[in-house]
């Protein structure tokens, strides 16, 4: 515990780290606001969705049609030369024409998607049954894929309309995780090299505390990575929700149209928590890479530069390989959960997302072992001389 507290004081409780964190947080908030401004819904669209939200039924569609027709009549009654005055007490968007337009082009398609989703799923399940009957005994992978699809997509239904812009923007947003990776590089790239540069490692070796120091450093890394990802993720949610709200988190993920064929049958809140865990794993993978790099050189400046170079190379490589094979892509849930993508593993359909998780965990453990073998046994050997 004393070593852990020492590592916290040495690496985390520093003015320089606090300043860097504040700067990156400020940049992240600014970029999140820009993301919200360029890609988010307007307040009018969000207000229209909330107004017609709730349980979906025939009465809801009739209410929408009646409202649209009434707004069109009021808009047509206005003289074309008359200056438009916004009245937010009478109209949701401020004008009758705006309400009529949003009702037809935005709300109606959303309601139709949600209401007819059950039929979409039933058609998909019927196709799965056809594939099972066709491929049974001919292609084990296709049969397995169809059986898995039938299992995952059965019983799906969207009961109400909701406003989903906040979680959609959250899934798409990646800069905050990049900011955390920068912090991890700044804090841990010199984890072992600084001791060699200052001669502290000799004191550790002479006291035969190499193993304890190793575990204290890694426990600090894991705690810091989790705390930083949570901090920046909560900041993202607050920024996005400040304009659009965070309602409908209890709705299923497939209630968002672009995720209609997601393999995850979880709520929007559930996938936000999954996203948080995946981003922590991605940062831990980078952190373990940095720890290994830190055992390579005793020059602190060179170690920091090399860490940025290695992480940059990993990001670049991830652009040219199967996205499911790179732990770096755990940051991006925008595409990971949209469809049921599977690998053919000995004739069995295995979801690609599970393979990504397995690869990430295996690589983190492998890098952890490599770092241990480079740092601890070497020091213990030197201590015995």
Per-residue pLDDT reduced to its tens digit, 59-115: 889 999 999 999 988 888 765 545 567 787 888 888 888 889 889 988 999 999 999
Phi and psi, residue 324, nearest 5°:
-80, -10
Instruction: Pick the range with the lowest mean pLDDT from 38-47, 195-204, 264-273, 282-291.
Output: 195-204
For residue 203, the model assigns a pLDDT of 47
Q: Give pLDDT, residue 7.
A: 67
Please name the residue that has the structure tokens 């992978």: 141
Q: What average pLDDT does the structure give for the chain?
A: 84
Q: Compute the Cα dihedral for 316, 32, 257, 101 and give only its sign.
A: negative
162 in Cβ contact with 255 (< 8 Å): yes
The residue written with tokens 């770092």 in the block is: 371
pLDDT value for 128: 94
Residue 96 contacts residue 78 (beta carbons within 8 Å) = yes
Smallest Cα–Cα separation from 174: which of 313, 46, 336?
A: 336
Question: Tell me, what DSSP letter sits at residue 252?
Answer: B
Using pLDDT thresholds of 50, 70 and 90, give the confidence band for residue 383. very low
By the 10 Å C-beta count (0-12 exposed, 13-18 middle, 19+ buried), 263 is classed as: buried
Read off the pLDDT of each residue in 152-159 and give the average, rounded to a whole number: 90
pLDDT of residue 342: 94
- Give the per-residue pLDDT at 159: 86
Decide if 310 contacts 293 (C-beta within 8 A). Answer: yes
Angstrom distance (rounded) from CA 245 to CA 102: 19
| DSSP strands (E only) in the chain | 54-55, 160-161, 342-345, 348-351
pLDDT in tens, 140-154: 999 999 999 999 999
Residue with the two structure tokens 């004081």: 9
> For 331-362, how does the pLDDT look when each residue is reduced to its tens digit (9 = 90+)?
777 778 889 999 999 999 999 999 999 999 99
In this structure, the strands spanning 54-55 and 160-161 are antiparallel
Tell whether the model's pLDDT for residue 126 goes beyond 90. yes
- Cα dihedral across residues 341, 343, 349, 352: positive or negative: negative
Per-residue pLDDT band at 376 (split at 50, 70, 90): confident
Residue 295 scores a pLDDT above 90: no
Instruction: Report how far residue 282's alpha carbon sits from residue 277's, in angstroms, rounded to the nearest whole number.
Output: 9
Residue 351 to residues 90, 111, 149, 242, 252, Cα–Cα distance (Å):
50, 30, 10, 35, 20
The pLDDT of 211-228, averaged and rounded, is 86
């Amino acid at each position: 515990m004393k070593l852990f507290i020492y590592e916290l004081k040495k690496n985390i409780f520093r003015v320089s780290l606090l300043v860097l964190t504040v700067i990156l947080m400020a940049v992240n908030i600014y970029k999140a606001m820009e993301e919200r401004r360029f890609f988010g819904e307007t307040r009018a669209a969000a207000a229209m969705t909330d107004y017609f939200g709730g349980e979906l039924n025939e009465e809801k569609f009739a209410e929408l049609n009646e409202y649209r027709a009434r707004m069109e009549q009021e808009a047509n009654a206005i003289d074309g030369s008359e200056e438009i005055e916004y009245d937010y007490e009478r109209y949701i968007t401020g004008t009758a024409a705006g309400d009529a337009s949003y009702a037809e082009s935005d709300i109606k398609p959303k309601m139709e998607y949600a209401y007819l989703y059950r039929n979409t799923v039933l058609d998909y399940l019927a196709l799965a049954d056809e594939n099972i009957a066709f491929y049974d005994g001919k292609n084990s992978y296709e049969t397995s894929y169809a059986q898995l699809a039938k299992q995952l997509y059965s019983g799906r239904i969207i009961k109400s309309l909701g406003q989903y812009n906040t979680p959609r923007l959250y899934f798409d947003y990646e800069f905050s995780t990049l900011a955390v990776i920068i912090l991890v590089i700044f804090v841990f790239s010199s984890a072992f090299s600084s001791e060699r540069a200052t001669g502290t490692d000799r004191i550790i070796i002479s006291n035969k505390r190499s193993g304890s120091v190793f575990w204290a450093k890694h426990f600090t890394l894991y705690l810091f990575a989790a705390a930083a990802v949570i901090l920046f993720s909560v900041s993202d949610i607050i920024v996005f929700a400040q304009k659009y709200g965070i309602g409908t988190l209890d709705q299923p993920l497939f209630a968002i149209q672009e995720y209609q064929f997601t393999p995850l049958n979880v709520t929007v809140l559930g996938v936000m928590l999954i996203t948080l865990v995946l981003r922590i794993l991605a940062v831990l993978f980078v952190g373990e890479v940095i720890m290994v790099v830190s055992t390579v050189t005793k020059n602190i400046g060179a170690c920091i530069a090399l860490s940025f170079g290695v992480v940059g190379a990993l990001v670049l490589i991830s652009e040219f390989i199967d996205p499911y094979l790179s732990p770096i892509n755990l940051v991006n849930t925008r595409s990971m959960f949209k469809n049921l993508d599977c690998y053919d593993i000995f004739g069995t359909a295995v979801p690609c997302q599970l393979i990504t998780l397995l690869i990430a965990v295996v690589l983190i453990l492998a890098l952890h072992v490599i770092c241990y073998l480079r740092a601890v046994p070497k020091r213990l050997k030197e201590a015995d001389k």
